[in-house]
Structure 1
Amino acid sequence: MQCLILATLIAVGIAALVYRSKTLSSLANGVSAIGLTIPSFAAIGLLIAPFGFGVTPAVIVVAFFAALPILRNAIVGLAGISPATVEAARGIGMSRMRTLATVELPMAWPIILSGIRVSAQMVMGVAAIAAYALGPGLGGFIFSGLSRLGGAKAFESVLAGVIGVVILALILDLILLGIGRLTTPRGIRV
């Protein structure tokens, strides 16, 4: 969950910086598309060399993969706001930052939240794989079971890890759905 919050802050921050520029938006979307093609297991392996085993490479990889769908949705959401709406806010004396914070981000929030929900589901699997770097998570059960394949309780260990990941993913999605209900302005709810 912490990685998802970190990824959301980073992705929305980057989106807020680039969404007004076609070139920068295209670049950010291109990086996002390329980033999604990197196998998470390979990314973890690359980060073990500089950071060693432990939580650090796991957090970096999970936050990286979590940020990609959020970034794409944040750019789409912010760019999709009518220029007339932004101009009206600016016309009543709002600064660029206040317009972003009080008009644009709330209007783009449902689309951003959709990206967060997709990201949350995707990174549950990435987080399980991150256990390879001795990071925290249910992936430890999966790797432990796979390393003892054919041995006593190996299948049960893998199954416990997989079922745990699925249950956590469903709970996280329900939490995000509730957050969306509570934080989306009534006038723009779908």
Structure 2
Amino acid sequence: MTAVSDFFTFVAERWSVLSFLAYQHLSLVVQTLILATVLAIVVGVVASRTRWGANAAQAFSAIGLTVPSYALLGLLVGIVSIGVLPSVIALVFFGFLPILRNVVVGLNGVDPALIESARGMGMSRFSTLVRLELPLAWPVIMTGVRVSAQMLMGIAAIAAYALGPGLGGYIFSGISRMGGANATNAIVAGTVGILILAVILDVALNLLTRFTTSKGISRV
């Protein structure tokens, strides 16, 4: 009980710092997630038009996810130095991959007969994409976004290695002082904070999926 009491005292005394770091962490994840989603949709739409393009996108996504985040951050630090920029590049890269895969899967899952019917009614290729294909693929795409968001929460913590913003710095600080005063409290505070942010973001994305999915699709 003493350890728990000490932890809550630690959090209360540093609440302003922790809340600011939590805001930075969430902001970094959300902004990079939006950028990754836009890029993945654009690339996924182009790739899904041909069989080889879809296969290449799937292969790139699978291979890219095997790249260790530490290794990529280390490479980026050597290229663009430390700070926010390598963190943003790394998060956009890793966030892009699951979404790209789901964009391709979602678009390829649209019934070709529906597309042909739309084209036969005089709809242009762009109108068919925006009004038919993307809405039908949207639930699958948003599943990829939610998976990506949870993954980026953890990678954003590792980005503290490159002096990126967020709660990861608290975790690394605690690890570097392991055995010292409040080292464990710092690690737990950073970890719990990231878990709470992950739950909040997942709930928000789930609600966004429900509000942005066509009612006809959601009833299927």
1:30: how far off? 0.7
Equivalent positions of 1:47-66 (< 5 A) are 47-66=76-95
Equivalence for 1:23? 52
The equivalent residue for 1:43 is 72
Partner of 1:90: 119
1:171 aligns with 2:200: yes
| Cα deviations by residue, 1:136-170 (Å, 9 ceiling, x for unpaired) | 11101111111111111111001011001100000
Report deviation, 1:63.
0.8
Give the gaps of 5 or more residues in structure 2.
Answer: 1-29
SS at match of 1:37: coil
Q: CA deviation at 1:91?
A: 1.0
Larger Rg: 2
Give the secondary-structure state (helix, strand or coil) at the position aligned to 1:20: coil
For residue 215 of structure 2, what is the aligned residue in structure 1?
A: 186
In structure 2, the residue matched to 1:148 is 177
| Structure 1, gaps ≥5 residues long | none
When the two structures are aligned, how many residues end up with a matched partner?
190
| CA positional deviation for 1:88 | 1.1
Amino acid of the residue matched to residue 72 of structure 1?
Answer: R
CA distance in 1, matches of 2:115, 2:63: 31
**What is the CA-CA distance between 1:103 and the residue it aligns to?**
0.6
One of 15, 19, 40 as aligned partner of 1:11: 40
Partner of 2:12: none
Shift of 1:20: 1.9
TM-score, normalising length: structure 1: 0.98
4+ long deviations beyond 4 Å? none
- Residue 57 of structure 1 aligns to a residue in which SS? helix
Partner of 1:120: 149
Q: Write the distance in 2 (CA, Å) between the matches of 1:103 and 1:109.
A: 10
CA RMSD in angstroms comes to 0.7
CA distance in 2, matches of 1:92, 1:55: 49
Q: 1:81 aligns with which of 110, 118, 122?
A: 110
